[in-house]
Amino acid sequence: MAAIPHPVNEAGHLVIGGVGAMNIVAQFHTPVIVYDFADVRRRARAFRAAFDAAGVSYQVAYASKALSILAMYQVVLEEDLYVDVVSGGELYTALHAGVPPARIHFHGNNKSDAEMRYALEARVGCSVVDNMREVARLPQLAAEVFGAASTAPPTTEATGSAEASATATPPSPLAAANTVGIIPSSAAVSALPSPSAAALS
């Protein structure tokens, strides 16, 4: 999306949210970080309008790494966005800002077991699997948090007669993970062996 330029005043100074940059400096000194919430709202609505016009199912998520403070999360909620968090600290702040867990995506390629467990216990809407360690570890943590019944139910195969018992097939890590709202990132998926490679191993 193209940048939305901010105006300048008669003195040639940047104006942010109707306030001159030099006035901001005079009050808060430097360095200072300024966010124009009206601009944030315009951009959020532009994204949603584009997807609405396309008639597709979508979720627009705010990346918390840009600014993870209570006020920003409240604006994000008012604009009907989802929230992307990449650490336990960001998850904690989002939850305390009132973001519903179902509207949180837990990303990050260096999640600790404690952070993954925290996300599961909070029942975040989506945990993104970023590496092969998480492919194996998340289902284990999910079983610890929710109990063995939370993993994918075993599939059965008939053995050939009506009297024969069915044989349980253990679920794959990804299948088990998906039952608690976990999806693999493209990086993790690309690291999985292809069917032909698996056949040759």
Domains within the chain, CATH numbers bracketed: 8-56 (no CATH), 57-184 (3.20.20.10)
The whole-number average pLDDT for the span 151-177 is: 35
Q: Which residue has the higher pLDDT, 143 or 173?
A: 143
Question: Residue 104 in 3-state DSSP?
Answer: strand
The yes-or-no verdict on residue 79 having pLDDT over 60 is yes
The yes-or-no verdict on residue 181 having pLDDT over 70 is no
Lowest model confidence (mean pLDDT) among 37-46, 64-73, 192-201: 192-201
The whole-number average pLDDT for the span 87-95 is: 96
The whole-number average pLDDT for the span 160-189 is: 41
Please give the sequence-ordered ranges of beta strands (E in DSSP) within 29-170, or none if there are none.
61-63, 82-85, 104-106, 126-129, 155-157, 167-169
Q: Which residues pair with 16 in a beta bridge?
A: 19
What is residue 183's predicted lDDT score, i.e. its pLDDT? 54
* pLDDT tier, 189 (very low <50, low <70, confident <90, very high otherwise): very low
Cβ pair 9, 15 in contact under 8 A: yes
Q: Which residue has the higher pLDDT, 26 or 191?
A: 26
What is residue 147's predicted lDDT score, i.e. its pLDDT? 85
What is residue 184's predicted lDDT score, i.e. its pLDDT? 54
Cβ pair 107, 81 in contact under 8 A: no
Query: If you average pLDDT over every residue of the chain, what do you get?
Result: 78
